Amino acid sequence: MKTKILSLMLAALMLVSLLAACGKPSDENQDNPPPENGGEQSNQPENSGENTPSVEDPAEESYDGKLVFDRPMELSYAKCFSVDYYKGGYKLASTSDGTKMLIVPEGMSVPADAPEGAIVLQQPVNNIMVASTPVTSLINAIGALDAISLTTYDADSWYIDSVKNAITGGSLTYVGDYKAPDYEKITAAGSTLAFYSTMLTEDVAAQLDALGVDVVLDQSADEEHPLARVEWAKLYGAIFNKEAEAEALFNSQAAYIDEISKSENTGKTVAIFYITSKGALYARNADDYMAKMIDLAGGKYALPDVGVGESGTVKMEFEAFYDGAKDADYIIYVWSLGGKPETLEDFLGRADILSEMKAVKEGSVWCTTPDFFQIQDTIGSMVNDIHLMLEADESTDALTFLRRLK
């Protein structure tokens, strides 16, 4: 009898222990809680924080076809575009004209709730057409030049060696001027995406639309701060999964400005202008990015009251320009737009009145290099050159993007 009672007690004790064990989570479950949204548990390590998580992770596959907001892209200066990141590697890029691009990671499906009217870009994004040298420079600088297959500038127009070589090597095709591209070549190439500057004409836009080519306007020229133009590289970084490269590019250019800001303003004035082949003089407006580059470099723009609130250039009568800029300490002449003078004599041949300017008399006339407007990725370095110009002695004749006319 005692033996039977003892057996019953032992059985009861084992049952209680078993029930207690079932109610307690295992160490494995404590270290690896189930993922959100009811997805299956993953044995993969936590996401490292990269912008484009691998879709091979089951936790990421659970977001396939869904738009679950994660975070916005951090921007320092740019105001004319934004990028939002979503779970699973989706991205939504927007520009200030209302254009939206839904970037879908490779191997993932297009979400049913994609924003209405958004251009859907299925990664990898390639075989695109770019009708802007600054945009090309940014894409090239982040290592995505091979995504471009069509350009509206021929090999002789380029000063970026890698772009020129791509054209001569056949991997990049010239399809005619941006105002009148060869639509047959565009159709034959099968390109369905084009990046243009805001100089896109209505007739070209209509033709590209008829061919089924989505057009995105790069609006970096509308940005207020010069470095914002470089920061547009982050938009292209998101499209081509080159965020790290774009961030590094921007930081390298911003570093020049940060270093210059530690110096005192020189107080020296700089005039920026050019004269066309027909004899018309154009000066940069006071709120143009080049005038702001002077300020960032530690100088002052010589025409602070011309074109206030405007970017770009303004046509001026020679007498009015002379009255405002005659005492400028320096002249920066826009070489590629103004007759391409090789010597100071060539420059003075543009107009007799130029010889009376202070900068001319003191030998402080500088020209931009031919590639000045193509390489938007180097704006910080350009500002640094202006800073070096303001501090240069007579022995300095050439910088990276500026050269003295003699």
Q: What is the pLDDT of residues 301-323, one digit of tens each?
A: 999 999 999 999 999 999 999 99
Using the predicted structure, report yes or no on whether residue 380 has a pLDDT greater than 90. yes
| CATH code 3.40.50.1980 region(s) in the chain | 58-254, 263-404
Rounded Cα gap, residues 311 and 287, in angstroms: 5
Q: Write the single-letter amino acid at 155.
A: A
Residue, of 31 and 403, whose pLDDT is higher: 403
What's the confidence (pLDDT) of residue 297?
98
pLDDT at 404: 98
CATH superfamily for domain 263-404: Nitrogenase molybdenum iron protein domain (3.40.50.1980)
Name the token pair of 245: 């490269």
pLDDT tens figures, 37-91 = 333 333 333 333 444 444 445 566 799 999 999 999 999 999 999 999 999 999 9
* Per-residue confidence (pLDDT) for residue 25, from 0 to 100: 35
- Average confidence (pLDDT) over 378-396: 97
398: left (phi over 0), alpha (psi -120 to 50) or beta: beta
pLDDT value of residue 60 = 65
Residue 26 reports pLDDT greater than 80 = no
The tokens for 303 are 């025409």
Query: Comparing 2-11, 213-222, 245-254, 389-398, which segment has the lowest mean pLDDT?
Result: 2-11
Within 13 Å, how many C-alpha atoms sit on residue 179's CB side? 1
Contacts 24+ apart (CB under 8 A), 95-102: 95/216, 95/217, 95/219, 95/235, 96/219, 96/222, 97/217, 97/219, 99/216, 99/217, 101/216, 101/239
Residue of higher predicted confidence among 57 and 197: 197
Q: What are 72's strand-pairing partners?
A: 84
pLDDT of residue 13: 41
Share above pLDDT 70 across residues of the chain, in percent, rounded to a whole number: 85
The answer to whether residues 82 and 93 touch, using CB atoms and an 8 Å cutoff, is: yes
Angle at 370 between CA 367 and CA 373, to 5 degrees: 95
Q: Give 261-321 as a DSSP string.
A: TTSPP---EEEEEEE-TTS-EEEE-TTSHHHHHHHHTT-EES-TTSSTT--SEEEE-HHHH
Identity of residue 245: E
Q: Which one has a higher pLDDT value, 218 or 19? A: 218
Which pLDDT does position 32 carry in this prediction? 30
pLDDT score for 185 = 97
Q: At what angle do helices 243-260 and 133-141 cross, to 10 degrees?
A: 100
Domain spanning 58-254 has what CATH number?
Answer: 3.40.50.1980
Residue the block writes with tokens 């405002």: 324
Signed CA dihedral, 336, 273, 137, 403: sign only = positive
Instruction: Give the chain's mean pLDDT.
Output: 88
